[in-house]
Amino acid sequence: MRDVLCAPVSGRVIRMADVPDPVFSQEVLGKGCAIWPDTDIVYAPLSGSITVVMGHAVGISGDDGTEVLVHIGVDTVDMNGAGFTGFVKTGDHVDAGQPLIRMDRLAIRAAGHPDCVVLAVSNTDSFADVELAVEGEVSVLAGSPVVTVRRS
């Protein structure tokens, strides 16, 4: 059985290995992908409960058991929430496609940080495989399938 995670933002998809941060590129926080965004709104990639909100990042425990981290930018924790407007709080239930955060891409770049949006499956080890649902670096619209989670 396969589950699909949707793009949290419109833009150009890249492999996790190409994220300019070793924690993500080495898949320390899980397999997935990243997207160089074309827009400022970040959406829920699946339906579930919000487990963590950190300004620049949101954790979601999916209704299907998939746990994801949506992380905006690299080293954006240094911005202490500046440039991010959250639409959800811990404990909220969200539907796939629901807005999570508005990011200010200009503020992120002005702070010297890459603005890629990472989608990581935090509980990757619970599944047979987590892989890209698209081939190569392609542009996608928010809500398009980007990651497939295969259950054993």
pLDDT per residue as tens digits for the range 131-141? 999 987 889 99
pLDDT of residue 138: 87
pLDDT of residue 137: 80
Residues pairing with 41 in the sheet: 102
Work out whether the CA dihedral 70, 73, 75, 79 comes out positive or negative: negative
**Catalytic center residues:** 71
Q: What are the DSSP E strand ranges found in 47-151?
A: 48-53, 57-62, 67-72, 84-86, 93-94, 99-103, 117-121, 129-132, 139-140, 145-150
> Regarding the domain delimited by 2-150, which CATH topology (the fold level of the hierarchy) does it fall under?
Glucose Permease (Domain IIA) (2.70.70)
Helix (H) or strand (E) holding 104: none
Q: What are the residue boundaries of the structural domains of the chain, listed by start?
A: 2-150
* pLDDT above 70 for 1: no
> If pLDDT is split at 50, 70 and 90, which confidence band does 9 have?
very high
Q: What share of the chain in percent tops pLDDT 70?
A: 99
Q: Is the model more confident about 152 or about 58? A: 58
- Ordered DSSP codes for 72-83: ESSSGGGGTTTT
